[in-house]
Structure 1
């Protein structure tokens, strides 16, 4: 039996949309007003969504619970799998002591606070967002800056603001993957559209950060360094997102901007060293001298991650791995059991691609890195167990948020809201980033926001006759601006910066900047929808270029053999050089 989604169950579109908004408002109320923990808020929202789907929309109870189960399963794999693997990789670096070398190396590059903020809060934070995400970048970079004697409020506030432009490509591109899954648009197309929006902010962000620290006049003193940092990041983010995919823009742009600025500082120095007025006259800076081998060994987990992820993203490799390591099945009782208002059956196919998943690539990188950083596999297993304990509640939160997303999409709730928003007509592109901003503010995650609203963005854009990739990408881009004021992000940053109890001050610090950047994005998306249509990627040619060119190259197993040889040579060189230096 096929159940058809009603789009106007109360025969009044405004009234139906108001009822449809209730589950979303429950999330807002639980997190903002009642200050409920994330996983509890999502579970409450799921319960309310089921209630409305069954009683108001007439969705069969069986379909409602199957939809919840499908969302939870997709939340666990591939999303939770990639989060677990990424945090495991980072924890290995911390447990082995290699992260201390990374921290000292970056801090010793320059004593100028303006340049340190660009290196750590902006570039290194983006790199961490690309590998781990989900709050880790702000926590780590804020702790680093406070450890370098930054003012605590400034340190945490700057890290929150800096952690905007990389969020859309965070955790090896998982927000884009979710947007693709929910909206039905190819993830490469979304990656390209986001990659033609955020680089504009990326170039501007370092200057924005420095002006917040020391004012316009003092910022001009380091303008050459600001331009090197922003332009290198923006250009690398653009090229990676447009020609490689959504998995590596943060990693490549973060590392690239760090290298570019470090090299530039070898030949250029600011005329004056700027520090906070409240600092002590004598500044304690890191003097440790590490050998090149020690520095490379410390960075090795992230270098290995970059190499493996890049290989895993090649279509021939994906095809080869899926041939031998993928289970695919139609979700029982749910597949093709629901039709939209046009009568189109909604497929629910679950792909368990356990070999080609990005999370598997990250996990493999972590396994290879364990002996390189000086740990045993027994110690690595203990770190993995600790990682699972650490992520217990985030895993529940992610699964429940995806369950919520699936039930509101399958029941037709998002379609109802979309139809009402479509009545705004040509103004809707202006509000598209606001939806993403609101979603991240509520959930604390661009991934969760995309799960909630990209279907709505797609349907509404189709209703008003503009390219849906513009509004779906706007959801991703708008979401990054909501990250700096999300209650969850504020809580993480306050804990890392020793500001527990002062969350309201931190919130006030970031709020106006969030509104300002959001307004800029709204105007930019409006322009993309109507006046700069040439910037929108064409889906068919893009798919043809990215698939045919790579598939006509080497077969997948050859790429994997080359990867294994590169890793073996890399690890052998580190080990041999380290032994010589020890001797």
Structure 2
């Protein structure tokens, strides 16, 4: 098939006019999702059609090459991204099916009767573990439901779950957002993950304090800050260590355990000055007392309820260790050129992204094995387990279509040159772009609801801007992901999920107003951090 050579200023040889056309697919996606409130899968398909039209009519990309670029993106969207998500959610469905999720909830309730502490342990620590395994709204839904069951008011439970789902998002679903950045940009995902691990721990140290403030205002902050701070700092340190020295793929898993352990240790030697009496979903009650304490599960039951997550840690620790990882890379990984796709850059060099990599024992396959072991452990028969898997697939069928469409859109924009055009245009801001880099990621997640989707849309843009401004490519790519996590709490999809779970459908606007201030405030913090990391002031954090 005909080779396509990229041209970054195809319209009148003008970068500005070309950037205007290149932005049309993204503007379409934003308008349909954020303005007209279309379903995500419909908006993604229309935006994909617009990107194909721009690639053909403005950039002169052959139809065959444009379609093939989209098919490679869709394939990457399914394997490994959706493969990880489907298997992770299947594991949780098995715990729901057998009732062990309820045992786990009651076990959490016995750690402390204080709702402020419960918000930190459940929404932040356990939510991070769910984010590490599945992402895509699962932590928000599960955490909000558990907080309501423990007596928190519905609107507070939803708000707390949304804000808590920030610091872990960049490493969610076994590091898929970082893996996607590496695939899109050609950067080493381990290097990008290491830089993200030097940014999001700052959020981790702050978010638990925000959560106790949301539950009980200044009094809650004053009375429970030791356990909140200890949890956040332990989480952040563990996230940093894992992302930089172990594996970015299991950073959230290690951090979640470290944060929960820190909370338990502090609670063993210190208790909040006074437990707060808050109105529960049932109409009243003291947070210090209640049914969970009376239904304390045995240690054996509590451990068994947590067993699937322990199995995940063990298997990923094995498969990501040096010798095993090297063996898998040599014997269970295949890489080939996407059939028929021939694209070169403006210098005539072939794009590395035309190569597709398949790992037999990837994160999704490991989670599939965990699911099988979970079914055996909980005595779920093969047919029942298969029906649960089918139900998982059916439940997320539109999510599957959305993710594949967004990745196809990203690949069409990247291969045609649209994303590079936008990057060159924005790079005219010079070194100040480091301040704006997280904002780009925030916008992407606020609209798409996914850090993975935002990274796929804007990863190459960040790389192009870095090359033009002389800034660190790893820093700007990481800034896109770190800033993006703060858009998660205001995305229409997550707001709708949280509102539906707690039974306040139609009050998404009220929920938005509760969390948007925290979203923007924490975004400013990340913007300043990334900018300072681009200067000698904090440049040592990146080098």
TM-score range with shorter-chain normalisation? over 0.9
Distance 1:238 1:275 in 2: 36
Shift of 1:165: 0.4
SS in 2 for 1:266: helix
Partner of 1:486: 491
- What does residue 129 of structure 1 align with? 131
Q: Which residue of 2 aligns with 1:313?
A: 320
Residue 542 of structure 2 corresponds to 536
Aligned counterpart, 1:301: 308
Match status 1:438 vs 2:439:
no
Is the CA contact 1:168–1:176 (under 8 Å) kept in the aligned structure 2? yes
What SS does the aligned partner of 1:352 have?
Answer: strand
SS at match of 2:284: coil
The offset of 1:322, in angstroms, is 4.7
Deviation of 1:281 after TM superposition, in Å, equals 4.2
Alignment of 1:215-234 (within 5 A): 215-234=217-236
Please show how residues 284-295 of structure 1 align to structure 2 within 5 Å: 284-286=290-292, 287-295=294-302
Q: CA deviation at 1:323?
A: 4.6
- Cα deviation, residue 326, structure 1: 3.8
Q: In 2, are the aligned partners of 1:430 and 1:522 still within 8 Å (CA)?
A: yes
Structure-to-structure mapping, 1:247-262, within 5 angstroms: 247-262=249-264
C-alpha separation between the residues in 2 aligned to 1:210 and 1:199?
18
Q: Gapped runs of 5+ residues in structure 1? A: 538-583
Counterpart among 197, 200, 206 of residue 198 in structure 1: 200
Written as runs of structure 1 = structure 2, the 5 A alignment for 1:52-451 is 52-276=54-278, 280-281=284-285, 284-286=290-292, 287-334=294-341, 337-347=342-352, 348-354=354-360, 356-451=361-456
Confirm or deny: 8 A CA contact 2:116 2:220 kept in the other structure.
Answer: no
For 1:39, the equivalent position in structure 2 comes to: 41
CA offsets 1:421-479 (integer angstroms, 9 cap, x no match): 01111210000001110110111100111101011101101100111100000011011
After superposition, the C-alpha distances for 1:544-565 in whole angstroms (9 at most, x for unaligned) are xxxxxxxxxxxxxxxxxxxxxx
Q: Superposition RMSD on alpha carbons, in Å?
A: 1.4
Ranges in structure 2 where 5+ consecutive residues have no aligned partner: none
Which of 512, 519, 528 is the equivalent residue of 1:523? Answer: 528
Determine the C-alpha separation between the residues in 2 that align with 1:30 and 1:504. Answer: 18
The 2-side partners of 1:9 and 1:74 are apart by 28
**How do residues 539-558 of structure 1 correspond to structure 2 at under 5 angstroms?**
none
**TM-score normalised by L of structure 2:** 0.96
Residue-by-residue CA offset, 1:37-96 (whole Å, 9 max, x unaligned): 111111101100000000001001110001011111111111111111111111111111
CA distances 1:96-140 after superposition (whole Å, capped 9, x unpaired)? 111111100001221111111111111111111011111000000
C-alpha change, 1:82 and 1:14, in structure 2 (3 Å) is same
The range that moved more, 64-73 or 377-386, is: 377-386
Task: Give the TM-score normalised by the residue count of structure 1.
Answer: 0.89
Question: Which deviates the most, 447-456 or 292-301?
Answer: 292-301
- Taking the aligned partners of 1:142 and 1:258, their CA distance within structure 2 comes to 18
1:26 alignment counterpart? 28
1:452-463 pair list within 5 angstroms: 452-463=457-468
In 1, Cα distance between equivalents of 2:438 and 2:169 = 14
Deviations 1:159-209 (A, max 9, x none): 101100000000111111001110111111011100001101101111112
Q: Kindly tell me: are residues 280 and 317 of structure 1, through their superposed partners in 2, closer, same or farther at Cα, counting changes over 3 Å?
A: same
Give 1:316 shift: 2.6
CA distance in 1, matches of 2:97, 2:244: 36
CA distance in 2, matches of 1:125, 1:452: 26
| TM-superposed deviation, 1:343 | 2.4
Query: Helix, strand or coil for the counterpart of 2:336?
Result: strand
1:263 to partner: Cα distance: 2.8
Q: For the residues of structure 2 that align with 1:323 and 1:193, how far apart are their CA atoms?
A: 27
For 1:346 and 1:228, the matched residues in 2 are separated by 46
> Could you say what secondary structure the match of 1:222 adopts?
helix
Cα separation, 1, equivalents of 2:64 and 2:5: 14
CA distance in 2, matches of 1:269, 1:319: 46
- Deviation digits for residues 381-429 of structure 1 (CA, Å, limit 9, x no counterpart): 2211111111211111111110000000000001111111011112100
| C-alpha distance in 2 between matches for 1:441 and 1:218 | 29
Residue in structure 2 matched with residue 573 of structure 1 by the alignment:
none
How much does 1:238 deviate? 1.0
The alpha carbon displacement at 1:7 in A equals 0.7
Q: 1 CA distance for matches of 2:321 and 2:508?
A: 43
Q: Is the Cα contact below 8 Å between 2:235 and 2:255 reproduced in 1?
A: yes
Return the offset for 1:276: 2.2
Which residue of the partner structure matches residue 499 of structure 1? 504
What is the SS of the residue equivalent to 2:356?
Answer: strand
Q: How many pairs does the alignment contain?
A: 534
- The Cα of 1:324 is off from its aligned counterpart by 4.5
Q: Which residue of 1 aligns with 2:10?
A: 9
Is the 8 Å Cα contact of residues 108 and 285 (structure 1) preserved in structure 2?
no
